[in-house]
Amino acid sequence: MKRTSRNRSVLAGGLAVAALGTLVAGVGVAQADEKGHRQVKAGENRRAKVSEREIAGLFDRWNAALRSGDPERVTDLYAEDAVLLPTASPRIRTDHAGIADYFAHFLQKKPRGEKIRTEIDVLDSDSAIDAGLYRFHLTDPKTGVTKPVDARYTYVYEKRDGRWLIVNHHSSVLPAEG
């Protein structure tokens, strides 16, 4: 009899854990779309909804800053605590001065970027990720010859004090298919 009572207790405990797991999983699914991307909940501020188009426009803003030739204008798009893993440097840049230094050198090549493919994930009203492939047209300052360079990118954006800033940017030359 004790054995049966113990078995019932174990079974009841297991069912309770399974039910709780199902409930938690159901809540997680209810907050994600078919791709698994988090959706803004109905109770969140409706004015704060962010569109993929808005996030895509942040690249255009960044690219326009590159075209200005002003490293400070580009660096101003990065949060003070941003991390930059740049395409053309082995050094990780983790502060405003380091990011500005990178762009002071990179802008000498008169970069002009264009997106080839993009995947945007709006995480919530204050954060988003834009990842994909882009092509830079870089001009050699010595020869004046312009050549394309294909690269992978990831931008992580956060809205801080009402302004979208880059908090993490990774860019690396696209490897040859192998």
Looking at residue 97, its pLDDT comes to 96
Residue 154 has which token pair?
Answer: 């990831």
pTM comes to 0.72
In this predicted structure, the answer to whether residue 61 has a pLDDT above a threshold of 50 is yes
More confident residue, 102 or 177: 102
Report percent pLDDT > 70 for the chain.
72
Lowest mean pLDDT among 39-53, 102-116, 146-160: 39-53
Distance CA 153, CA 170 (A): 5
In this predicted structure, the answer to whether residue 52 has a pLDDT above a threshold of 70 is yes
- 138-154 pLDDT, tens digit per residue, is 999 999 999 999 999 99
Name the residue type at position 122: V
Looking at residue 88, its pLDDT comes to 87
Question: By the 8 A CB rule, do 147 and 161 touch?
Answer: no
Burial of 129 (0-12, 13-18, 19+ CB in 10 A): middle
> Taking Cα atoms as reference points, which of 100, 82, 48 lies closest to residue 166?
82
Sign of torsion, CA 138 151 100 55?
positive
Distance CA 84, CA 105 (A): 14
More confident residue, 7 or 120: 120
Report percent pLDDT > 90 for the chain.
69
Mean pLDDT of 81-104: 96
Average pLDDT value for the chain: 81
Which stretches within 31-120 are classed as H helix?
52-68, 71-75, 96-106
